[in-house]
Structure 1
Amino acid sequence: MAELARVGYSALRVEDVAVLAKVNKTTVYRRWPTKSELIADAIRSVAGFDEPLPDTGTIRGDLIELVRRSLAFARKPEGRAVSRLIVVEGGTPEVDALARLLRDQKRAKNAEVITRAIARGELPHDTPADLVVDAITSPLFARAMRFNEKIDQATIIALVDLVVTGAENVGKRGSRGR
């Protein structure tokens, strides 16, 4: 992550990562055959992919905590490096594929809080978990990472309440119009 932050994705060389790690480059290549796989694992290791999801007992509490954790990561140097990777170096097939892979993995994990809420009866059974997660995280990350805005607790709560209220009522319309 330090090398990614220093030089960016396109200039990152596995050989330089090996020097920093004080190992032979073959050691790195044995574990991560491609630069993309190396960077994906590095990002997963610092971005909380392995952390347990919040489980406060309510969808509102879980989502507020999930957003709080995600924004805390976005403010760290590692989070800014990931943002720069996506914003500045996006547009190349390799970086775009890496970004989509990580987004899909993180989205699937985060969607578990919606699945738990459905099981508890807080949300209708046909609630689109991926859309609920995206509706909350996308605008906040655009503000935090792209525009470097500090997102306060009141904004997080307001957005979570807005999206959860919409999700609670989606089944009452009959058709979601999707």
Structure 2
Amino acid sequence: MTDPIRRRTGGRSARVREAVLAAALDTLAADGFDQLSIGAVAARAGVHETSIYRRWKTRDRLVFDALLEHSEQNLPVPDTGSLRADLIEFNRSLMAIVDSPLGTALGRVMAGGEDDPEFARARAEFWRTRLEAGRVMFDRAVDRGELAAAPDAWLVLETLTAPVHFRKLLTREPFDDDYAERIVDLVLNGLSATPGPSSPE
């Protein structure tokens, strides 16, 4: 036999999962969360609804899994060798996500009004998972001697990312080229290192 052996990469289950998660994100971007249904996702992915229900059980669990997958692929935790560079790269990636059409839809889902209990739990789990992933940036900084002790990672990440979401969802201002750097430097240095207005004599 001279033909090379063809090896399966991932298998059918992995391909179905990938297709369904991509279809969920596409449907979310096109129709919004309120109009997203298992049937619409199944039709877009080319699978049976029962395949989705069997794996994800509910629409909210499907959306959570799609959000987490998208976040892991498009908002990786940097490892540049310095805390400042890590945080700048992290915020730049976040800005790229929220500035995209899909990111806009995802932001509206996350910032939506009323939550049913299932989606509230899924959203809390999403942020807990992202926090645990981001915490390593501070742990590495401690190991390198950049920080004396690990800070409150949740508070630092909230402070870093809140201005990005504020501009996107509230003021609608465009992101400046150095916006990520200015946010990171403000957080790392604090207001004490920022020159204030001169006092009148």
1:116 Cα deviation from its structure 2 partner = 1.1
Identical aligned residues as a percent: 33
Residue 7 of structure 1 corresponds to: 31
Query: Counterpart amino acid of 2:91?
Result: V
Aligned residues: 166
- Answer yes or no: is the 8 Å Cα contact 2:38–2:59 preserved in 1: yes
Structure 2: distance between partners of 1:122 and 1:155 = 23
Q: 1:146 to 1:48 in 2, by over 3 A?
A: farther
User: Match of 1:47, SS?
Assistant: helix
Deviation by residue 1:112-161 (Cα, 9 ceiling, x = unmatched): 11111122111121421221111111122221244332222322212201
Structure 2: distance between partners of 1:145 and 1:124 = 35
1:49 Cα deviation from its structure 2 partner = 5.2
Indicate which of 73, 80, 90 corresponds to 2:104. Answer: 80
Residues 1:20 and 2:44 aligned together: yes
1:92 Cα deviation from its structure 2 partner = 1.7
Query: Counterpart amino acid of 1:68?
Result: R
Could you list the runs of 5+ residues in structure 1 that have no partner in the other structure? 170-178
Structure 2: distance between partners of 1:142 and 1:101 = 22
Q: 1:19 to 1:48 in 2, by over 3 A?
A: same
Structure 2: distance between partners of 1:13 and 1:57 = 43
- Answer yes or no: is the 8 Å Cα contact 1:73–1:79 preserved in 2: yes
Residue 173 of structure 2 corresponds to: 149
Q: Give the stretch that moved more between structures: 47-56 or 8-17.
A: 47-56
After superposition, the CA RMSD in angstroms is: 2.1
Residue 92 of structure 1 corresponds to: 115
Residues 1:132 and 2:164 aligned together: no
User: Match of 1:111, SS?
Assistant: helix
Q: Give the stretch that moved more between structures: 109-118 or 139-148.
A: 139-148
- Answer yes or no: is the 8 Å Cα contact 2:86–2:137 preserved in 1: yes
Query: Counterpart amino acid of 1:10?
Result: D
- Structure number with greater Rg is 2
Indicate which of 138, 141, 156 corresponds to 1:114. Answer: 138
Residues 1:105 and 2:129 aligned together: yes
Structure 1: distance between partners of 2:150 and 2:82 = 18
Q: 1:55 to 1:138 in 2, by over 3 A?
A: same
User: Match of 1:156, SS?
Assistant: helix
